Amino acid sequence: MQNLVDKINNKILSLHIPAHPAGLYEPVTYTLALGGKRMRPLLTLLGYSLFKDENEKSLDAAVAIEVFHNFTLLHDDIMDNAPIRRGKQTVWSKWGTSVATLSGDVMQIMAYELLSGYEPSLLKRILPVFNHTAINVCEGQQLDMDYETAENVSIPDYIKMIELKTAVLLGTAIQLGAMIAEANDEDTRNLYEFGKNTGIAFQLQDDILDVFGEAEKFGKQMGGDIVSNKKTFLLLKTFELADEATRAKLKGLLNEKDEQKKVKEVKEIYHRLEVKKLAEAEMQQFYSKALSSLEKVNAPAEKKKKLTDFTNKLMKRDN
Amino acid sequence: MQNLVDKINNKILSLHIPAHPAGLYEPVTYTLALGGKRMRPLLTLLGYSLFKDENEKSLDAAVAIEVFHNFTLLHDDIMDNAPIRRGKQTVWSKWGTSVATLSGDVMQIMAYELLSGYEPSLLKRILPVFNHTAINVCEGQQLDMDYETAENVSIPDYIKMIELKTAVLLGTAIQLGAMIAEANDEDTRNLYEFGKNTGIAFQLQDDILDVFGEAEKFGKQMGGDIVSNKKTFLLLKTFELADEATRAKLKGLLNEKDEQKKVKEVKEIYHRLEVKKLAEAEMQQFYSKALSSLEKVNAPAEKKKKLTDFTNKLMKRDN
């Protein structure tokens, strides 16, 4: 797996990123060098490899997905006022919002540049798939912002939001790999479902780690979701299960200005109502759904195993 | 010409823009309904019509260019703090910067969606052209921001900046029309040069109108370039021609807080040094260059005339 990550990182390093204007391109280089798990491009390569014995041809699409993902992070971090990402300053907090906006814009175009190299008939098939998902991701981000102030967000609303904002891109990452490998429509569709449901499980895991993970491993502001009153599965489930008194206490905590106190006391309520376990069960459910889609895919068992070795590890990560 | 504008507006009206999430899509509808001259999509249709007797097939590309252009306006207006556009509130000032960022992002994807409908071989040829210009536009915006604080901006620097930020998109607008009409490479290249140099002339005209136009016709904040110390051709030329005393006075005015006084006194200096005439001469020079590229294009004279009737009018506009 490290070989594949190296391959992705080498491809990213080989991207032609001009030196000027530095204000535009420095943040692009900075962002792409921050690394991260490279989960999405790995899914593209692994999706391709299910049907072929190498993965060369899927590398451009893999990196297109990663560059697109990083573009969304630049813009999301502005909107969410996030100071830290992958243990480093976010672009807007380092260079300002104008820079983060424009460098994000150019990264979005770079993603399309990477796709534009595929042969005509393949390009014609992958471009609409990519566009559709890119639009879904924007819709997900909008819902995420809407839910900050919305009164009645349900757990299904929340799941739909993370599906759009996060999960569909994982689905499309693996789907593009399969399409480039000329997989048939049914296999391609099942792989999309596999990736999407893995993505929902992944985001639920992320929400759990935001509260219960270890700061130095996670590389983001700890308890950030609690501080910002983010209506995650954990918070929504707590409101659902809490008695009158706890609900009143929780409502009070939403307005608590002392961040440390707020995180500590909300966590105490989460512990008491055991919502972590419930979130983990929800996560398992989506991951099982993912695996049952993968089972239907016509590809050699040992190749599928390589894929599930990777996603199983994602489900057990601590960062 | 009004027929063509109607055609473009009808196509824009027929775009599938979902109702939800409203926070994402309302600003898209608002922006596209603001209208404007539709100069870029008109160039695409006219470029196509040079070689064919209708223009149907170029309509999607025309609207892709217009949607892309409007996306850049949304983001530029955030970065430039611009309150008014086409006589109406800008998206960020009406809905906030997060909305303007994200709605801009989705419009960029919509532009690619429109292009993705072309047949494989054509898509394969137009996508890299579009990407290249889209990246140029971002570079131009970055240079524009860099020049706000840069000490030594020359007139050639300024011309290069407006070439990237504004002119190349006009070049590509007409170029895509020609490519879709299967024009040969030489004609396509000459049309790009025609559009690009027309675009530079157009921007110089825009700078002149910002200072000397009539507020109610122009639909933007008047004298905005003077207020923000924008290093336009007018200001740079004035610094070049001014004597010591005038230069000192001008430098003082750059820090003047009273906006009305600032605009009035800078305009007086512009009048005294007759830089308006020099800007008009510069504009004419680029437009002549544009016309000489058009002359080389192998297309019927009466069709070229339709195109120059349109661009001649652009050069004489008062808004």
Taking contacts as CB-CB distances below 8 angstroms, the residues of chain B near A105 are: 75, 104-105, 108, 138
What is the model's pLDDT at position A221? Answer: 64
Q: Would you say the C-alpha torsion A74, A75, A76, A82 has a positive or negative sign?
A: positive
Residue type, B58: S
Of B21, B105, B145, the CB nearest to A75: B105
Burial (Cβ within 10 Å: 0-12, 13-18, ≥19) of residue A16: exposed
Instruction: Report yes or no: A143 at the B interface, CB cutoff 8 Å.
Output: yes
d(C-alpha A27, C-alpha A80), whole Å: 18
Average pLDDT of every residue of chain B: 95
How many residues in total does chain A contain?
319
The ipTM value here is 0.95
> Which of A21, A123, A139 is facing B21, going by the closest CB pair?
A139
Instruction: Determine if the pTM surpasses 0.90.
Output: yes
Measured in angstroms, the CA of B57 and the nearest CA of chain A are apart by 17
Instruction: Name beta bridge partners: B85.
Output: B88
Peptide bond into A21 cis (omega under 30): yes
**Cα–Cα distance, A36 to A202 (Å, whole number):** 14
Q: Where do the DSSP E strands lie in chain A?
A: 84-85, 88-89
Q: Return the number of other C-beta atoms located less than 10 Å from residue B241's C-beta.
A: 15
Structure tokens at B67: 């949607």
A124 touches chain B (CB under 8 A): yes
Q: Which CATH number fits domain A2-315: 3.40.50.720, 1.10.600.10, 1.10.10.60, 3.40.640.10?
A: 1.10.600.10
**Can you read off the two tokens belonging to residue B32?**
């596209």
d(CA A297, CA B301) in angstroms, rounded, equals 60
What is the per-residue pLDDT for A220? 63
pLDDT of residue B319: 72
Q: Which residues contact B143 (CB under 8 A, 6 or more apart)?
A: A21, B157, B160, B161, B164, B165
Structure confidence at residue A74 (pLDDT): 96
Whether residue A224 has pLDDT greater than 60: yes
Cβ within 8 Å of residue B41, ≥6 positions away: B8, B62, B63, B65, B66, B173
User: pLDDT of B139-160, one tens digit each?
Assistant: 999 999 999 989 899 999 999 9
Inter-chain contact A98–B79, Cβ cutoff 8 Å?
A: yes
Flag whether pLDDT at A107 surpasses 70: yes
Asked if A91 and A100 touch (Cβ cutoff 8 Å), the reply is yes
Task: Give the closest residue to B176 by CA, choosing from B296, B294, B45, B71.
Answer: B45
With cut-offs at 50, 70 and 90, classify the pLDDT of residue B218.
low
Q: pLDDT band at B219, cuts 50/70/90?
A: low
B56-70 pLDDT per residue, tens: 999 999 999 999 999
In this structure, the number of other CB atoms found within 10 A of the CB of residue A268 comes to 12
Mean pLDDT, residues A262-283 taken together:
96
- Contact residues on chain B for A116, CB-CB shorter than 8 A: 124, 127-128, 131
Q: How many beta-carbon contacts under 8 Å exist across A and B?
A: 110
The set of residues, in sequence order, having a beta carbon less than 8 Å from that of A296 and lying 6+ positions away, is: A186, A190
Read off the amino acid at residue A55.
N
Q: Which residue of B has its CA nearest to A74?
A: B101
Q: Which chain B residues are Cβ-neighbours of A131 within 8 angstroms?
A: 109, 112-113, 116
Report whether pLDDT(A218) > 80.
no
For B108, the token pair is 């960029």
Q: What is the DSSP letter of A9?
A: H
Give the distance from CA A63 to its chain's centroid: 15
Of A183-187, B135-139, B178-182, B315-319, which range is least confident? B315-319
Q: Determine the residue among B122, B131, B228 to mutate to test chain A binding: the one whose Cβ has the most chain A Cβ atoms within 10 Å.
A: B131
Six-digit token pair at A26? 């420095």
Residue-level pLDDT at A223: 87
* Minimum distance, in Å, between the CA of residue A66 and any CA atom of chain B: 16
Confidence of residue A215 (pLDDT cuts 50, 70, 90): low
Tell whether the model's pLDDT for residue A163 goes beyond 60: yes
Return d(Cα B5, Cα B7) in angstroms, integer: 5
Domain boundaries, chain A: 2-315
Beta strand residue intervals within chain B, DSSP E: 84-85, 88-89
Q: Position of tokens 């989506």?
A: A286
**What pLDDT does B291 receive?**
98
Say how many Å lie between the first and final Cα of chain A, rounded. 17
Contacts of A78 in chain B (CB under 8 A): 97-98, 101
| Partner residue facing B109 (CB), from A79, A110, A134 | A134
CB contact under 8 A, A75 and B101: yes
Residue B149's CB is within 10 A of a number of other CB atoms, namely 8
Q: Is the pLDDT reported for residue A219 higher than 90? A: no
Q: What percent of chain B has pLDDT over 70?
A: 98
Q: Residue A17 and residue A20: Cα distance in Å, rounded?
A: 9
> Which residues of chain B neighbour A145 with C-beta distances below 8 Å?
23, 98, 102
Structure tokens at A29: 């280089």
Among B105, B113, B141, select the one facing A102 at the smallest CB separation: B141
Closest-CA distance of chain B to residue A98, Å: 5
Which residue, among B60, B107, B124, B228, would best test binding to A if mutated, counting the most A CBs under 10 Å from its CB? B124
Interface test with B, best of A122, A142, A145, A161 (most B CBs within 10 A): A142
Burial class for A313, CB neighbours closer than 10 Å (0-12, 13-18, 19+): exposed
Over range A49-53, report the average pLDDT. Answer: 97
Q: Is the pLDDT reported for residue B215 higher than 90?
A: no
For residue range B87-108, list pLDDT tens digits in order: 899 999 999 999 999 999 999 9
Least confident range of A201-210, B87-96, B219-228, B294-303 = B219-228
* B123/A124 touch (CB, cutoff 8 Å), yes or no: yes
**Chain segment A58-105, per-residue pLDDT in tens:** 999 999 999 999 999 999 999 988 888 888 999 999 999 999 999 999
Is the pLDDT score of B295 beyond 80? yes
State the pLDDT at residue A216: 60
pLDDT band at B231 (very low <50, low <70, confident <90, very high): very high
**Cβ contact (<8 Å) for A131 and B109?**
yes
Specify whether domain B2-300+310-315 bears CATH 3.30.800.10: no
**Side-chain half-sphere exposure of A65, counting CA atoms within 13 A:** 29
Q: For residue B97, give the nearest of B117, B114, B80, B112 by alpha carbon.
A: B80
Show the tokens assigned to A281.
Answer: 């069960």
Q: A203-217, A267-281, B129-143, B291-305: which range is least confident on average?
A: A203-217
Q: Would you state the pLDDT for residue B69?
A: 98
Place of tokens 């790995």: A42
| pLDDT score of A82 | 87
How far apart, in Å, are the Cα atoms of A140 and each of A150, A159, B8?
Answer: 15, 10, 30
Q: How confident is the model at residue B201 (pLDDT cuts 50, 70, 90)?
A: very high
In angstroms, rounded to a whole number, what is the distance separating the alpha carbons of residues B43 and B179?
13
CA–CA gap between residue B125 and residue B176 (Å, rounded): 10
- Partners of residue A109 in chain B, C-beta under 8 Å: 108, 131, 134-135, 138
Report pLDDT digits (tens) over A181-206.
999 999 999 999 999 999 999 999 99
Phi-psi region of A229 (alpha: psi -120 to 50; beta: other; left: phi over 0): left
